[in-house]
Amino acid sequence: MSEIIRIKQKLENFDKEINIPGDKSLSIRWVLFSSLANGKSEAKNLLLSEDVRAAINAIKKLGIKVKLNNKFCKIYGNGVDGYTYKKNITINAQNSGTLGRLLLGLLINTKYPIKIIGDKSLSKRDFKRITDPLSKFGAKFKLNKIKYLPLTIFGSKKLRPIIYKESKGSAQCKSAVMFGGMRTDGVTKIKAKKSRNHTELLSRYLKLPVIVKKRKNFDLIKINKINKIKTLNYEIPSDISSAAFFIVLTTLMNKSKIIIKNVNINPSRTGVIKILRKMGARINLKNQKIYKGERKADILVESSRSLKAINCPTKFNNSAIDEFLAIFLVAAKAKGISYFKDLAELNEKESPRLKWGSKILNQMGIKTILTNSTIKIFGNPNLKIKKKIIIKNYLKDHRVFMTSTIGALAFGGSWTIHDKDSIKSSFPNFLKIISQLRK
């Protein structure tokens, strides 16, 4: 039985400095790249969440040695062709779309079929978007009901490079094809709508045969087969998608201030900052640095004096894709009607998030107008929550849980939020950090 939390009181003002865990996208990519390196790679501040543990378990199943404790993770790669495993293995990607999808790119040359399974939420998500392009390389797939997990991948030794147009703005699709290209002789070419570019930056840092040309609305990427990867010692910067909940909480509070240390501020991830600043949030980036190709900074947030609605430019969508639920809370308090559009992809996440955003706000007493790809939010700067709010049956989407918690702490009212264990997939110490703000 999963635990329930009850929140009946707004949070008191705070002035704090916090550290949050490592970035999930970078942690999973570090695990996958290191599993192909020649020798020992070591990470510090690796996110120790269920998604990343699932990635570690996956490479262990593929015969890679891993040493893990609270301070570091060491991965002992055996080179790009160093996976060793028995026939008929099953890999459980649990809740992680990133793991399930990226890994398939690395497995297109598998000598034995491999079965990929996931939890209830992942089993409702579209894998055809990955298996379609990977089939073109020459791998074969058997999927449940055409597009879902469980799936089985049948690798090929006769792979051919592909030309692929990625038009959803999905970094998972782009990265899976990049990994496929790294397994394949010849030049794989991708024209990709802009999305997070961690795979490209890590490839550049590792000096892999990947060339990226940036255009205004898309990137052109060329990938060649990799023969060797050097080991990768990496101190993972903190996750802006986790930081976003504290950015939003502080923005919504009165007379509060927070410094979030050492956060990844890759421009392909900072849409939340750009959107919230336009709405009146006070966010500053301090101590900016470049680390192994990625940018990081301390994020200083002060409570906003007034918030205004936004007609959100769609150019921010991909760089804020995981933060919209939290952003919607700010729209709930903003003066005016906010409008977010072209967001059908939000319903493809761990839960149908556009719908859940609307459900949470409606329970708070905020009017919304929802379509398959848009939401209008009728903000109320004087919102007082009157009804009891219950949040449950949301496929344990970690971001639904955290958004609801932040809503409860910022707006007050009486909230019952089910499935506390959902935070384990991305931000296991989320509630601990909330309690640090109380002291």
Q: Give the residue numbers annotated as catalytic, written as ranges.
A: 322
In the bound state with ligand S3P, the residue whose beta carbon lies nearer, of 73 and 385, is 73
Quote the CA–CA distance of 302 and 118 in Å, as a whole number.
Answer: 40
Pick from 41, 110, 175, 304 the residue near ligand S3P by CB under 6 A.
Answer: 175
DSSP calls for 263-331? EE--TTTTHHHHHHHHTT-EEEEEEEEEETTEEEEEEEEE--S--B--B--GGGTGGGTTTHHHHHHHH
Angle separating helix axes 353-364 and 324-333, nearest 10 degrees: 30
Q: At what angle do helices 324-333 and 398-411 cross, to 10 degrees?
A: 20
**Could you give the strand order of the β-sheet that contains 114-117, starting from the edge strand earlier in sequence?**
89-92, 114-117, 148-154, 140-144
- 242 versus 338: smaller Cβ distance to ligand S3P: 242
Segment interacting with ligand S3P, rule: CB under 6 A, options 3-11, 171-179, 265-273, 411-419: 171-179
Q: Among residues 266 and 363, whose Cβ is nearest to ligand S3P?
A: 266
The angle that helices 240-252 and 271-278 make with each other, rounded to 10 degrees, is 20
Contact 247, 299 (CB under 8 A): yes
Contact 204, 292 (CB under 8 A): no
Q: How far is the CB of 96 from ligand S3P (least distance, A)?
A: 9
Binding mask 303-342 for ligand S3P (x = CB under 6 A): ------------------xx--------------------
Q: Give the range of 3-11, 169-177, 211-219, 284-292 binding ligand S3P by CB under 6 A.
A: 169-177
CB under 6 A: which stretch of 167-175, 184-192, 200-208, 389-397 binds ligand S3P? 167-175
203 binds ligand S3P (CB under 6 A): no
Segment near ligand S3P (CB under 6 A); pick from 12-20, 166-174, 359-367, 368-376: 166-174
Q: Does 242 interact with ligand S3P (rule: CB under 6 A)?
A: no
* CB-CB contact of 166 with 259 (8 Å): no
Hey, which residues between 398 and 427 contact ligand S3P (CB under 6 A)? none
171 touches ligand S3P by CB under 6 A: yes
| Closer to ligand S3P by Cβ: residue 201 or 410 | 201
Residue 231 vs 347, nearer CB to ligand S3P: 347
For residue 170, state whether it binds ligand S3P (rule: CB under 6 A).
Answer: yes
Q: Considering beta carbons, is residue 130 or 309 the nearer one to ligand S3P?
A: 130
φ and ψ of 90, to 5 deg: -120, 135
The DSSP element (H or E) to which 177 belongs, if any, is helix 171-182
CB of 373 to ligand S3P, least distance (A): 14
Examine residue 250 and tell whether it contacts ligand S3P (CB under 6 A). no
* Distance of closest approach, residue 19 Cβ to ligand S3P, in angstroms: 21
172 binds ligand S3P (CB under 6 A): yes
- The residue (of 166 and 419) whose beta carbon lies closer to ligand S3P is 166
Work out how close the CB of 175 gets to ligand S3P at its nearest, in angstroms, rounded to a whole number.
6
State both tokens at 427: 């931000």
Q: At what angle do helices 97-106 and 171-182 cross, to 10 degrees?
A: 20
Phi-psi region of 66 (alpha: psi -120 to 50; beta: other; left: phi over 0): beta
52, 24 contact by CB (below 8 A): yes
Report DSSP letters for 93-147, one per residue. -TT-HHHHHHHHHHTTT-SS-EEEE--TTGGGS--HHHHHHHHHHT-EEEEETTT
3-state secondary structure 363-429: HHCCEEEECCCCEEEECCCCCCCCCEEEECCCCCCHHHHHHHHHHHHHHCCEEEECCHHHHHHCCCC
- Binding of ligand S3P by 351 (CB under 6 A): no
Candidate ranges 156-164, 168-176, 265-273, 274-282; the one touching ligand S3P (CB under 6 A): 168-176
CB of 369 to ligand S3P, least distance (A): 24
368 contributes a contact to ligand S3P by CB under 6 A = no
**Residue 196 near ligand S3P by CB under 6 A:** yes
Burial of 216 from C-beta contacts in 10 A (0-12 / 13-18 / 19+): exposed
Taking the complex as a whole, how short is the minimal distance between the CB of residue 217 and ligand S3P, in angstroms?
A: 16
201 binds ligand S3P (CB under 6 A): no
Does 294 participate in binding ligand S3P (rule CB under 6 A)? no
Residue 98 binding ligand S3P, by CB under 6 A: yes
Contact pattern for ligand S3P over residues 25 through 44, marking x by CB under 6 A: x-------------------
Write out the residues near ligand S3P by the rule CB under 6 A: 25, 98, 170-172, 175, 196, 321-322, 345
